[in-house]
């Protein structure tokens, strides 16, 4: 199985007058199709690592190979394009637009990239809503949906551009136990059927132990 991510000695430092080293030389490899979790105590650097992997933040030093390409020297425009086309994001708070319908929210990546809203794109959005079990809610405004339903819309949105990788930061942290189980099973279903690679940051040990691999972050270092 080929690697989708190879991170070599990644460091991330914040601050000017007073510097804080958050990532202290992380080395990490993720295989295509893997379903991995990142765990660790608050302040350990796991969310910072996820942001670096998702190109939402740039490392201070180190090498980052994404799908065989060294993106360490990419500029902001190149990183934004990579993010939009190849990486999907699911956050604890779904960040849906409440004035839009479920279908319109799933289509949002196309609106952002100013791509034409083709018939094929609409069909894909509808197929994704069917995949997450919300075909009967496609025309509902998201403020009329439950927390679990809103998170499923967010998952469908993350898949809209057929990403190679989906990053989920505490995707069930704001849900009850029943919705948490439903979301986890959905992510697993997508991983199994579409072979999408998943990296999940979670505090929930019950979720992390069900992943293919646990990556533990302690004091800015990785332990696999």
- The model's pLDDT over 201-222, given as tens digits with 9 standing for 90+, comes to 887 777 788 888 998 887 767 6
**pLDDT-based confidence at residue 223 (cuts at 50, 70, 90):** low
Q: Tokens representing 90?
A: 């699911």
Q: What pLDDT shows up at residue 78? A: 93
* CB of 222 closer than 8 Å to CB of 48: no
In whole angstroms, give the CA distance from residue 128 to residue 158: 10
**pTM higher than 0.75 for the full model?**
yes
- Report CA torsion sign: 206, 209, 210, 215: positive
Q: Report pLDDT digits (tens) over 66-117.
A: 999 999 889 999 999 898 889 999 887 767 888 899 999 999 888 777 777 7
Query: What is the average pLDDT value for the chain, to the nearest integer?
Result: 87
Q: Report pLDDT digits (tens) over 116-153.
A: 778 898 999 999 999 888 889 999 998 888 888 888 89
In whole angstroms, give the CA distance from residue 103 to residue 122: 8
Q: What is the DSSP letter of 210?
A: T
- Please tell us whether the domain made up of 3-223 is placed in CATH 3.40.50.300: yes
- Is 104 strand, coil or helix? helix
204, 198, 213, 201: which is closest to 181 by C-alpha? 204
In whole angstroms, give the CA distance from residue 191 to residue 170: 17
Q: What pLDDT shows up at residue 1? A: 52
Q: What pLDDT shows up at residue 222? A: 61
Question: Alpha helix locations (H) across the chain?
Answer: 46-53, 76-86, 102-106, 108-113, 119-131, 147-158, 177-194, 205-208
């Amino acid at each position: 199985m080929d690697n989708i991510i190879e991170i070599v000695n990644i460091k991330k430092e914040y601050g000017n007058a007073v510097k804080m080293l958050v990532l202290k030389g992380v080395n990490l490899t993720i295989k295509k199709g893997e379903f991995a979790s990142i765990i660790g105590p608050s302040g350990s650097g796991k969310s910072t690592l996820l942001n670096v992997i998702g190109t939402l933040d740039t490392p201070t030093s180190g090498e980052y190979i994404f799908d065989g390409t060294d993106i360490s020297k990419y500029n902001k425009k190149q990183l934004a394009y990579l993010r939009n086309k190849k990486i999907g994001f699911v956050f604890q708070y779904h960040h849906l637009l409440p004035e839009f319908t479920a279908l319109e929210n799933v289509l949002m990546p196309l609106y952002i990239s100013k791509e034409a809203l083709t018939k094929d794109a609409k069909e894909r959005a509808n197929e994704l809503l069917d995949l997450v079990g919300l075909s009967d809610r496609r025309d509902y405004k998201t403020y009329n949906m439950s927390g679990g339903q809103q998170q499923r819309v967010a998952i469908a949105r993350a898949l809209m551009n057929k990403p190679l990788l989906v990053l989920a930061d505490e995707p069930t942290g704001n849900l009850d136990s029943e919705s948490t189980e439903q979301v986890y099973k959905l992510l697993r279903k997508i991983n199994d059927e579409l072979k999408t690679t998943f990296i999940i940051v979670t505090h929930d040990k019950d979720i992390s132990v069900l992943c293919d691999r646990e990556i533990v972050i302690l004091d800015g270092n990785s332990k696999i």
